[in-house]
Amino acid sequence: MSGVSVAKKAHTTVSARRKKTFMLLTMVAPGAIWLILLRYLPMFGIVMAFQDYKIYTKAPSLVNNILNSKFVGFKNFKFLFATKDSWIMIRNTLAYNAVFIVLGLLISVTFAILLNEVTKKFVAKTYQTLMFFPYFLSWVVASYFLQAFLDPTSGLLVHAMADWGMKPIDFYNTTGPWPYILTIAYIWKNTGYSVVLYLAAITGIDATQYEAASIDGASKLQQVFYVTLPHLKTMIIILFILAVGKIFNADFGLFYQVPMSSGPIMSVTQVIDTYVYRAMIATQNYSMTTAAGLLQNVVGFVCIMIANGIVNKFDKDSSLF
């Protein structure tokens, strides 16, 4: 196939190639301009992570403020490692993300494939719509829903446990259940979203491939492994790489709102983002947040480059760039 296209390309003239490149550049232009203005331009603000940011009282404007603020090296990063507990929040962030990436992937791919097998479209549509609902609910609302079950005095689950003769658990004071609760909550909220992505990718598969496989006597399961999954591969890999880039970031709402910011369970709910938020309330130091964000992104960037490098080695087509 590639040999054919090379041969064809030889026919195209230089000017045609130039024109094509130009046309494609015009396609990229609107997005690229936006990215330059709204993403790359503000990046000069990153230097604030290394500054003791002060307002330049003679002519306050962001640029003047930055130009006239003192550089303090890595001082703003220090608060992330100021306690013995630092490793706990880093461990939590990494461990939860690892579980979320793997479980999330398995469940949403499985669900997408299963949905594809539901024979009545109306039913499939209904499932898919309902699955999306948690995405509409904010974590705050979800946390109130959960509280209705777990509340130490009026919680439905707590009452039920008492009725069954079990000793009710004081959930907001007990660390044990929270890794499970948070994982389930994550799956619950995000599955609908990623199922749509995989589903749309499945929809793009040419139906004749299934027919051919079926005529060749392939079972349903074999069709999944030999037709569906290879087609989903690129999407799976891309979403995986992107998720790896966020390995040092955590969903703030999930870890702050859902456990109701309860203190005694912080050893299993504290992640980098919640730590930074709590520190921010205490100090109102904007440079420190910038520093924390920068650190998270640098780590994510390194991870993505590694993951993308590996993918590039084995399967160039599926890599990110």
Partner 1 sequence: MSKNAQMVLHHKKKRPFNAVSVPAEVVINTIMTLFCATCIIPFIFVVIISFTSEESIRKIGYSFTPLSWGTEAYAYVMKLGDQLWISYFNSFFTTIVGTGLSVLICILYSYALFRRDFKFRSFFSFFSFFTMLFGGGLVPTYMVCKQMLGLSDNYAALIVPLLVNPFNIIVMRTFFQSSVPEELIEAAAIDGSGEYNTLFKIIIPIAKPGIATIALLNALAYWNEWFVALLYVRERAKIPLQYLLMQMQRNVEYLAKNSANMGADAAAAASSLPTQSLRMAMVVLIVIPIAFAYPFFQRYIIAGLTIGSVKG
Partner 2 sequence: MKKKLLSIVLSIAVTATMLVGCGSTTTETATDATEATETAEEATDAEETAEAPAEEAALDISEPVTLKWYLHGSTVNDDMAVMEKVNEYLGEKLNVTLEPIWGTWGDFDEGSTLAINGGDDVDIYFTCSWSANEYNAFAKKGAWVRLDNPENNLLEKYGSDIWNTLPEVLKAGAQIEGSDGYGVYALPGYKDFGTQNCWDINVTLLEECGYTLDDIRNTDYYGFGDILKKAKELKGNDFYPLLVEGLVLERMVDNSIIVNGDSGSLNVLSYYIDPTDVSKDIGSKVVNKYATEEFKKFAEKTREYYEAGYIDPGLANKQTANDLRTSKQLNADYLIGTQSYALGYEVQTSAERGIEVAYVPCTPPYVDKTSTQGAMMAISTASKNPERAMAFLNLLNTDPYLMTLLEYGVEGVHYNLNDDGLVVFTDEHDNYQPWRNGMGNVTILPPQEGEGKDFFTKTFIPYYDSAKAIPAFGYQFDPTNVETELAALANVGEEYALALCVGSIDPATALPEFLDKLEAAGMSKVVDEANAQLDAYFANEQ
Which of 40, 74 has the CB closer to partner 1? Answer: 40
Q: Which helix (H) or strand (E) holds 70?
A: strand 70-71
Q: Using the rule CB under 8 A, which residue among 85, 117, 170, 216 binds partner 1?
A: 117
Distance of closest approach, residue 150 Cβ to partner 1, in angstroms: 12
User: Which residues, 6 or more positions from 29, have their beta carbon under 8 angstroms from its beta carbon?
Assistant: none
Report the alpha-carbon distance of residue 149 to residue 158 in Å, rounded. Answer: 7
Part in contact with partner 1 (CB under 8 A); list of ranges 251-259, 265-273, 274-282, 292-300: 292-300
Tokens 């130039």, residue? 18
Residue 240 interacts with, from partner 2, partner 1, none (CB under 5-8 Å by kind): none
Interaction between residue 247 and partner 1 (CB under 8 A): no
SS3 (DSSP) at 261? coil
End-to-end CA distance of the chain: 22
Residue 82 phi, psi dihedral angles, 5° rounding: -85, -15
Query: Within 55-74, which residues bind partner 1 (CB under 8 A)?
Result: 61-62
Which of 103, 260 has the CB closer to partner 2? Answer: 260
Query: Within 3-42, which residues bind partner 1 (CB under 8 A)?
Result: 5, 8-9, 20-21, 23-25, 27-28, 30-32, 34-35, 37-42
Work out whether the CA dihedral 262, 263, 266, 270 comes out positive or negative. positive
Q: Using the rule CB under 8 A, which residue among 121, 164, 217, 282 binds partner 1?
A: 121
198, 321, 251, 48: CA torsion to nearest 10? -160
**Cβ neighbours of 20 (radius 10 Å):** 11
Task: Residue 198: name the closest of 304, 88, 107, 96 by CA.
Answer: 107
Distance of closest approach, residue 29 Cβ to partner 2, in angstroms: 16
Residue 270 interacts with, from partner 1, partner 2, none (CB under 5-8 Å by kind): partner 2
Interaction between residue 226 and partner 1 (CB under 8 A): no
DSSP labels for 87-128? HHHHHHHHHHHHHHHHHHHHHHHHHHHHHHH-S-HHHHHHHH
Residue 145 interacts with, from partner 2, partner 1, none (CB under 5-8 Å by kind): partner 1
Distance of closest approach, residue 268 Cβ to partner 1, in angstroms: 23
Task: Please check whether residue 176 is in contact with residue 86, taking contact to mean a CB–CB distance below 8 angstroms.
Answer: no
Residue 195 interacts with, from partner 1, partner 2, none (CB under 5-8 Å by kind): none
Positions in the binding site for partner 2 (CB under 8 A): 36, 40-44, 53-65, 75, 78-79, 82-85, 143-144, 147, 151-153, 170, 172-173, 257, 260-264, 266-267, 270, 275, 278-286, 288
Distance of closest approach, residue 209 Cβ to partner 1, in angstroms: 9
